Structure 1
Amino acid sequence: MPHLQLRGLPIGIYAILLALIASMGGFIFGFDTGQISDILLMTDFKRRFANGCSIDTTSFADAGSCTFSNVRSGLIVALLSIGTLIGAVCGAPIADFLGRRNAMSVECVVFVIGVLVQITTFTKWYQFAIGRLIAGLGVGALSAAVPMYQAETAPPQIRGTLTATYQLFITFGILVAYCISIGTRSMNNSGSWRTVVGIGILWALVLGFGIQLMPESPRWSARHGDYPSARAAIAKVRGIPEDHPLVDAEVEEIENSLEAEKRFEAERLQIDQAELANGKSTKLKSRGAIYAWMECFQGFTKNSSRIGYRTLLGMSLQSLQQLTGANYFFYYGATIFQSVGISDSFVTQIILGAVNFFCTFGGLYIMEKYGRRLPLILGGIWQSGWLFVFAAAGTAKNPTENEGIGKLMIVSACMFIWGYAMTWARGIWILIGETFPTRSRAKQGALSTAANWFWNFLLAFFTPFIVSAIDFRYGFVFAACNLLGAVVVWFFLYESAGLSLENVDIMYRDPACHPWTSRQWCPPGYASRRDAEMELHEKAGMTPAQFEEKTQNQDGRSSTGGTTVRDSASVHQQNDIKKAA
């Protein structure tokens, strides 16, 4: 099988393809997010749907005076988020029941239905809004399924990069929506906005059919007892034969993790039955669907599975990603830059979209090189600073009367987007895919993503009202939220870069590990994460000496300074210790 080499380990072409095709779910998300800001300013759209205007009585010359009330514009923008919130919660059982791939195909059909409802609207603004709600059901379910599928299928060495393609495609979708909008805005008919909305069907078709050509998540297959499919998927993603030692090692790790979950479930069931028999428990003990969701909020202490801890952490991080203020610019950017005196706000939107897209490439490197915690902490501080500049400048002087202030606000917005694109935009979606255990990953991921969409709705709907009341001082609120995000990451987030999903679960369960010391944590039986990486390379056919030489060439690390070259016997001794643990 053809494959690439990354850090001395094989990476198959399927690993790249599945990341790109699945990330079309992010493209759909971004395209739907980016289009509405410009559509609200299109002449034909305002003639049809703005307050006090009518397609029959309002000419194109008079359409400039047509405006949307805060309620109407808020609902048109925000009903997508209500749909995505519901879709994210429903996405978990769908992905668990149908499998990750089939779920994504079904969700693409739902999105297409929503698009058709929108483009067949003629004069009723609420039909357009309902169409966005239906499309949101598909977008929300995809936002839960895609990062989970990518994290479960990607090799650990490039999991961060491949999972981050979801965010990259979100930014690409936003940019493409801006570019198409600027190309259609001059149409003196409904094609100006119907073209932008309708072309979304194409992206759904690419994902819906393309994902069926990719392997199913090996962890989903293994959880349903289909180990041959799991083995085949790992081999495809690695680009190596199914009987390769590296495939054996990954399958064994998944199998051991699932067996540990079964033992934990059996022990807990025995305890529950004993408590019920003795009349000591009045809690719901049914193992039905409701209890399965309740499990996501059990375990917060150091000596537990910390499932509840991780659920609240995921929900908090997704909420704080919305509270960074990024969608303040993406949803209402064209309106914002009109208010600072920019003559062509469509062009300014494209500039912001381009900064967002191209800076995301830098984030691909940062998250792999420096892990998850440090970029999120520094990103939160950076974003807070520039939002403070944005808000202070707009508050100090009227930007429509001072060209210098207007330019400063645009620059500060671009610098904010630069930091956001490289840290919080992509880092949170990576963490949602890799923080939770296999057994409850779908449900915890859905709850976390639903929190994102809940705040997305609140911001989309209430922003016009808030801006009317406090104008650019709104930026101070977002600046404070960015600082809060940095604090939450420091005190609660564990460093998961470079670990398999199974070892991430072990790390969160380790009572001796703390978030601020988690970068030094290593799997049981190893002296460091580097030692664990060395063993993996040995299974791929690399000797310890070759591993040392390769890593020294890549990042300047050498066998001196605390890390010694282990011989083959030492490697096998560590294997025995790990198995015993």
Structure 2
Amino acid sequence: MNVMAKAEKKISSAFIYFFGSFGGILFGYDIGVVTGALPFLQADWHLENAASLVGWITSAVMFGAIFGGALAGQLSDKFGRRKMILMSAIVFVVFSVLSGVSPDMGEASAYYLIIVRMLLGLAVGAASALVPAYMSEMAPAKARGRLSGLNQTMIVSGMLLSYVVDFLLKDLPGEWAWRLMLGLAAVPALILFLGVLRLPESPRFLLRKGDEAQARKVLSYIRKNPAEIDQELASIKETAKEERQANQKTSWSTLFSGKYRYLVIAGVGVAAFQQFQGANAIFYYIPLIVQKATGQAASSNLMWPIVQGVILVVGSLVYMWIADKFNRRTLLMVGGAVMGLSFILPAVINWMMPNMNPMTIVVFLCIYVAFYSFTWAPLTWVLVGEIFPLAIRGRASGLASSFNWIGSWLVGLIFPIMTASMPQEAVFAIFGIICILGVIFVKTCVPETRGHTLEEIEEQGTNHGRVKASNPEN
């Protein structure tokens, strides 16, 4: 036992934060890898005219993630964050390999891959829920903002890594290229598993299970001041007590009571708009978008995902720099307006100048990704983390996450079907209109949370409910 304690004592806070957030790499890698694999998969299985199957293969991971996030949240309360991250890594390894060895048996192959990717999505959804929870419970309060930015940087770094791998493998025979691209997702999952084996359990979970001695030991790895450890233990105990009391007094119907309705609609609405604005259409289908615009083979356009990935990583770093310098609403409205125009203007230009350079749409897509990367991409989850009062936080956060994954799944599913039936510019113009609607939603339905305590934010919701009650015609 002493040997084990000695080994644990050597764990540095940098190691804990790095591997605690490493799940974001898996999340990002699996989101991005299908971008390069899809052109080769389509050619190998002759799916060029099977838009619905292509949509399902692409979006199956997000469909599984809808359930993976909710399931992991409940199981992690019972078994612990660390154990569930380990289980997610194992699921990742198994189903990444099974994706890469998909049997070649005609149309049935597509259905096999869809099912396997749905099961893989359970791990993706779990990672998206468990990593932020683990990080928020390990990080000191003063560093939580930066570390939430670290999680976003890990996700987009995983996407960039997958784009680079896709590019490096593009000259292999088509039937090998897509299999290796999908199968290699097992490598970062294995690294995560080995890293998390050395991670301690979250002190919050340990206290919930009554193991205060172990919780104190874990905090000693990542806090230097004994007085700070005592204060944090007391704070965790008090918060856990309040949450237990809150959960006993609330139900799903509580979310839509007059007192909380305004804040729930705001948080869930922002989470839904983030996906319905169409970002994932670019991330999943950019080689096919360039192919449709220029006529060049999608498999020869794998440099464009790397460009998008670099923009995303740089944008995540820009966000960490500006996060506390501008209001949340301002960034969301400016970002959404530019994103909307980036989608709408190509359709307008093409209508006015039918001989428009086909690469114009790709340039505008890069502008969209740039503004998305430091506004809606990170701020959605910052705002969701701040806006829900303690009494409804668990249920409301789960609802916001579910709507976000549903949006991600639907965009991945319907985009190829839409582009098969109408011009690409018209499809993006529709997403552009949704971006503008998102701006209007933020302006009219979302309170400012920057610089406000959680209690002040809750008071805004309560006051808004009172105003609505006294002015029912509004």
Alignment TM-score > 0.5, same fold: yes
* Pairwise CA distance, 1:396: 4.2
The 1-side partners of 2:384 and 2:410 are apart by 21
Partner of 2:315: 359
Match of 1:480 among 426, 433, 436: 433
1:168 aligns with 2:148: no
Partner of 2:361: 409
Where 2:339 maps in the other structure, the secondary structure is helix
Partner of 2:211: 226
Question: Which has more radius of gyration?
Answer: 1
Map 1:105-184; keep pairs closer than 5 Å. 105-123=86-104, 124-184=109-169
The 2-side partners of 1:98 and 1:68 are apart by 46
Match of 2:292 among 333, 339, 357: 339
The 2-side partners of 1:119 and 1:465 are apart by 25
Match of 1:392 among 329, 348, 373: 348
Partner of 2:69: 88
Identity between Structure 1 and Structure 2 (%):
25
Match of 2:334 among 378, 382, 385: 378
Partner of 1:49: 45
TM-score normalized by structure 1?
0.70
Match of 2:37 among 28, 36, 39: 39
Asked if the contact 2:66–2:402 (Cα under 8 Å) also holds between the matched residues in 1, the reply is yes
* Pairwise CA distance, 1:135: 0.8
Asked if the contact 2:271–2:403 (Cα under 8 Å) also holds between the matched residues in 1, the reply is yes
The 2-side partners of 1:442 and 1:299 are apart by 11
Q: AA paired with 1:249?
A: Q
The 2-side partners of 1:140 and 1:36 are apart by 17
Partner of 2:235: 253
Partner of 1:28: 26
* Pairwise CA distance, 1:229: 3.9
Partner of 2:56: 75
Decide which structure has greater helix share: 2
Unaligned runs of 5+ in 2: 1-10, 465-474
Greater Cα offset, 257-266 or 353-362: 257-266
The 2-side partners of 1:209 and 1:309 are apart by 44
Q: Kindly tell me the number of residue pairs found equivalent between the two proteins.
A: 447
Partner of 1:431: 383
Q: AA paired with 1:376?
A: L
Match of 2:178 among 181, 188, 193: 193
CA distance 1:513–1:296, change in 2 (3 Å): closer
Map 1:321-340; keep pairs closer than 5 Å. 321-340=274-293
Asked if the contact 2:28–2:158 (Cα under 8 Å) also holds between the matched residues in 1, the reply is yes
Asked if the contact 1:15–1:154 (Cα under 8 Å) also holds between the matched residues in 2, the reply is no
Asked if the contact 2:86–2:193 (Cα under 8 Å) also holds between the matched residues in 1, the reply is yes
The 2-side partners of 1:441 and 1:221 are apart by 21
1:226-252 deviation per Cα after TM superposition (whole angstroms, max 9, x unaligned):
3444444444333x14x22x3333333
The 2-side partners of 1:412 and 1:440 are apart by 40
CA distance 1:207–1:496, change in 2 (3 Å): farther
Match of 1:100 among 81, 89, 94: 81
* Pairwise CA distance, 1:425: 0.8
Q: AA paired with 1:252?
A: A
Q: AA paired with 2:241?
A: E
TM-score normalized by structure 2?
0.85
The 2-side partners of 1:191 and 1:309 are apart by 51
Partner of 1:468: 420
The 1-side partners of 2:198 and 2:373 are apart by 30
The 1-side partners of 2:246 and 2:60 are apart by 41
* Pairwise CA distance, 1:216: 2.9
The 1-side partners of 2:177 and 2:461 are apart by 59
Q: AA paired with 2:272?
A: S
Where 1:368 maps in the other structure, the secondary structure is coil
* Pairwise CA distance, 1:102: 1.2
1:188-232 deviation per Cα after TM superposition (whole angstroms, max 9, x unaligned):
253311221121111112222323433433333333333444444
The 1-side partners of 2:391 and 2:213 are apart by 19
CA distance 1:473–1:211, change in 2 (3 Å): same
Match of 1:509 among 454, 458, 461: 458
Higher RCO (C-alpha 8 Å, min separation 6) = 2
Greater Cα offset, 257-266 or 163-172: 257-266
Asked if the contact 2:246–2:390 (Cα under 8 Å) also holds between the matched residues in 1, the reply is no
Asked if the contact 1:22–1:211 (Cα under 8 Å) also holds between the matched residues in 2, the reply is yes
